[in-house]
Amino acid sequence: MNRQFSTAWTVHPFLTDRSIPYVIIGGLAVQRWGNPRFTRDVDVTVLLPPGKEEPLLREIIAVFPPRGPEGVSFALANRVLLVRVPGGSEVDISLGLPGDEESVVARAVPYDLGEERVVRQHESLDVDYIRRWLWTFAGLTDDPEVPQQFERAWAQRAS
């Protein structure tokens, strides 16, 4: 998984655990729809409840360090929070506005980056090895869905 996809997967549970609606935009979104494009960061639009932006922005920078000394004040003035995922990429978190951006977030399409990788690289995968470790991992996390996700992706490779 490339650095930007890994970064997106780091940001995803943070936002979803807090029920913050979001959509990935920019270079990663363009790649999702089949057009290779170089990107060095991850662009995200979030919808924060009016009047609660500042506390949520502070919560974000408590986990993801800001890319500048002004962090939250810059975000409130410019409607974009610039952060970095430790060990990952830079993330530009745009504060979506009611209306157009709200409808963009509402129309977001779920995308499982892991499944596409299985489909694209199926010929080079050691499937027995992957299955063995997925079942081991699923047992450690009590998540039987982990191997099932792989099996669905594996079944798609012929499609």
pLDDT tens digit sequence for 24-67 = 888 777 766 665 656 788 999 999 988 889 999 999 999 999 99
Between 137 and 79, the higher pLDDT residue: 79
* For residue 159, pLDDT beyond 70: no
Per-residue pLDDT at 122:
64
Residue-level pLDDT at 103? 83
- Residue 85 — very low, low, confident or very high, per pLDDT cuts 50/70/90? very high
144/130: higher pLDDT: 130
- Residue located via tokens 């970095």: 84
CA 54, CA 47: separation in Å to the nearest integer?
A: 13
pLDDT at 35: 58
Token pair for 56:
């949520």
Tokens of residue 152, six digits: 């669905």
The predicted pLDDT at position 18 comes to 93
Helix (H) or strand (E) segment spanning residue 80: strand 80-84
Q: How far apart are the first and last CA of the chain?
A: 22
**Range(s) for CATH 3.30.460 in the chain?**
3-108
% pLDDT > 70, the chain: 76
- Helix, coil or strand: residue 25: strand
Amino acid at 29: A
* Per-residue pLDDT tens digits for 88-119: 889 999 999 888 788 888 887 776 655 555 65
Average pLDDT, the chain: 81
Interval 12-19 mean pLDDT: 91
68 forms beta bridges with none
pLDDT at 142: 60
How many angstroms separate the CA atoms of 11 and 24, rounded?
A: 10
CATH code of 3-108, in short, is 3.30.460
Residues 6+ apart with CB under 8 A from 145: 138
